[in-house]
Structure 1
Amino acid sequence: MTTTSTSGPLTRRDLLKHAAVGSFALAASHVQSVLAADEKSQPLRVIAYNVYNCTGWPKDRALANKATALGQMPDRFANELALYAPDIINFSESPSEEVAKEIAQGLGMNYVRFPSGGNWPGTLLSRFEIVDPRNVPLVEGERPQDLFTRHWGQATVKLPGGESLVVHSAHLHPSPEPDTRLREIPLMLRSMQKDLDAGRSMLLIGDLNHTPDTKEYKLWIEAGWTDTFTKAGQGNGLTIKADTPERRIDYVMAAGPIAKNIVESRPLFEGAFRTNPTDPESFALSDHLPQLAVFK
């Protein structure tokens, strides 16, 4: 005889009641499954952005200073970035943690912060869970004093469906002489090698401070990284500066299975990310343009 946990035999009313509750739970479970499947099928949208400390550029523009003084910059950044429905964003030259947190909240995102060896921290933001963050994840030893003075960090983003995406957030040294970057990159590749060999999906996002015609760029490509702009971009893809772009130094690179799914990559030379050349008082959110990459 079937019984409940608290009384005697089930009545017809009990059976109808339990059937209704069960049907509702089944329907709710079905809706959740459909939503999860739909989210998993959506493109993954990634933005690399050197945000210039979120102070606006050029700094001598009165309106930029006023917007900063009025505390408007977090909302301005969040609102402009939200137009592109990003899933993952990387900030180089990140602002204070208070400002970064406010932007993350405005976007409905989680975030982790990567301290700088100098005064240029990084922030990784995602609407998905971020786990296992590590700052300057060298294979062995401590960070050399003269390396990674901007930032380099690693974390794992938990994608819908339980997939994991290893993300390296980086801002390399800006010196015109490449020696420092050519010492930084081999240390980074050594740290990445285990995941590269395992064929894990990985992203390298940030201001790498070198153009595609350099030894530094060649090191990434030879190691197995795919430049999303080279794969799916059009034109020259210049990312700096926000009035008249002249160089491409901001990247979203991919490795592993995700590198086969690149469908779009372009700098966002539009909206509040650029200045208005006909208005001497206009300002951009940063001196860099964001680099957007989309994966199916």
Structure 2
Amino acid sequence: MAVVAVMVVATEGGARGSERRDVRVMSYNIHHGEGADGRLDLDRIAGVIRSEKAEVVGLQEVDRFWRRSDFVDQVDYLAEELDMYAAYGANLDLPPDDPSQPRRRYGTAILSKYPIIESGNTFLPRLGTSEQRGLLEALIKVKGAPVRFYNTHLQHNSSEERALQVRAIMEHTKDVEGPQILVGDLNALPGAPELAPLYGRYDDAWTLGGEGPGYTIGAENPNRRIDYVFVTPDVAVRSASVPRTLASDHLPVVAELSVPRKAR
């Protein structure tokens, strides 16, 4: 009986494989390339992405032309270094640190081994003078399968503001058809009330595929999980992991996923 069971599973898996596409995704707050050891080294970030074989990546805290990150366009640098397509959402657009430099920009980025068909950044609500946050999205053809990939970074010091931002994300994505992947630094623990709406539409990849607490911050001695990969129910989660590295003050979240070739 055991042999028969194995053969059935293998056959069903082969049938499903013809209808699905595997993809390895990552969410990573890169702290503008400054590691937990205080060293600025964007090559370490690229090395983490490369070593984890991530194919679609959502990055938070990404600089363009800041003095603190040596005036590097971090999006272009990482895209070229990793040979990936890129999309960027500038949530801050400020005067240059140096008159000889372009304007400073700060926000989120999506890197992809697969073509980005379209992309856009939507500002999320904020209270008073707090930092502007956004929802960066991209339509990506993953081995021919269209996937909506979202990347965000929610407010760090206000649960009320995060609740507004989550509601805005839910409204923005409510009529989207086909598989969705939502990643980001949500600055809240899994049980935080403001995140509850997300669990009504999405599955937490760590809950389905990870082992242990999945802590992502701080990088040296992690003690909280605030970085996530969420997926719609049509996306299967094969595994999830949190690699250890000092390349940022956060640890990345990596998930091995399987998306349907066609929307049902």
Deviation of the 1:56 alpha carbon: 1.9
Deviation at 1:148, TM superposition (A): 6.9
Match of 2:165 in 1: 184
| Aligned 1:65-144 pairs, distance under 5 A | 68=40, 73-96=41-64, 98-117=73-92, 120-136=106-122
Amino acid at match of 2:119: P
Unaligned residue ranges in structure 2 (runs of 5+)? 1-16, 65-71, 94-104, 259-264
Number of positions where the alignment pairs a residue of Structure 1 with one of Structure 2: 223
Deviation at 1:75, TM superposition (A): 2.5
AA at the equivalent of 1:125 = L
Deviation at 1:98, TM superposition (A): 1.6
Assess, with a 3 A threshold, how the Cα gap between structure 1 residues 145 and 81 changes in structure 2: closer, same or farther: same
Q: Which residue of 2 aligns with 1:249?
A: 226
Distance apart, 1:42 and its partner CA: 6.4
- After superposition, residues 160-171 of structure 1 pair within 5 angstroms as 160=143, 162-171=144-153
- Per the TM alignment, residue 235 of structure 1 is displaced from its structure 2 partner at its CA by 0.6
Contact map agreement 2:166 2:195 (CA 8 A) in 1: no
C-alpha displacement at 1:39, in angstroms? Answer: 11
1:232 Cα shift? 1.1
Contact kept? 1:74, 1:100, Cα under 8 Å: no
Q: Is 1:174 the equivalent of 2:156?
A: yes
Contact 1:78 1:104 in 2 (8 A): no
Q: Which has the higher helix share?
A: 1
Question: 1:179 aligns to what SS in structure 2?
Answer: helix
Deviation at 1:234, TM superposition (A): 0.8
Q: How does 1:197-208 map to 2 (within 5 A)?
A: 198=177, 200-208=178-186
Tell me the CA shift for residue 89 of structure 1. Answer: 0.7
User: Would you say the 8 A contact 1:51–1:287 is kept in 2?
Assistant: yes
Selected match of 1:235 from 209, 212, 235: 212
Please, what TM-score do these two structures have when normalized by structure 2? 0.78
Instruction: Give the deviation of 1:190 after TM superposition.
Output: 0.5
C-alpha separation between the residues in 2 aligned to 1:233 and 1:164?
Answer: 25
Task: Tell me the CA shift for residue 159 of structure 1.
Answer: 1.3
SS in 2 for 1:289: coil
User: Does the 8 Å contact 2:123/2:134 carry over to 1?
Assistant: no
Aligned residue number for residue 289 of structure 1: 251
State the one-letter code of the partner of 1:53: H
- 2:135 corresponds to 1:152: yes
Whether contact under 8 Å (1:148, 1:184) holds in the other structure is no
Ranked by relative contact order (alpha carbons within 8 Å, sequence separation 6 or more), the top structure is 2
Q: What is the CA–CA distance in structure 1 between the aligned matches of 2:150 and 2:185, rounded to whole Å?
A: 12
Does residue 23 of structure 2 align to residue 44 of structure 1?
yes
User: Partners in 1 of 2:34 and 2:184 — Cα distance?
Assistant: 19
Provide closer, same or farther for how the CA distance between residues 148 and 185 of structure 1 changes in structure 2, counting only shifts above 3 A: farther
| 2:246 maps to 1:268 | no
Preserved CA contact (<8 Å) 1:137 1:191: no
Structure 2 counterpart of 1:25: none
Q: Tell me, what secondary structure is at the counterpart of 2:255?
A: strand
Deviates more, 1:206-215 or 1:78-87: 78-87
> Retained in 2: the 8 A contact 1:167–1:202?
yes
Residues 1:183 and 1:153: Cα distance change in structure 2 (over 3 Å): same
- In structure 1, runs of 5+ residues without a counterpart are 1-37, 274-283
Residues 170/124 of structure 1: CA separation in 2 closer, same or farther (3 Å cut): same
> 1:191–1:41: structure 2 CA closer, same or farther, 3 Å change rule?
closer
Cα distance, 1:218 vs structure 2: 1.3
SS at match of 2:62: coil
| TM-score normalised per structure 1 | 0.70
Task: Supply the distance in 1 between the matched residues of 2:107 and 2:194 (Cα, whole angstroms).
Answer: 22
Aligned 8 A contact 1:153 1:168 in 2: yes
Q: Tell me the equivalent position of 2:36.
A: 57
Give, in angstroms, the shift of residue 79 of structure 1.
2.2
Question: Is the 1:117–1:151 Cα contact (8 Å) retained in structure 2?
Answer: no
Distance in 2, Cα, partners of 1:290 & 1:192: 24
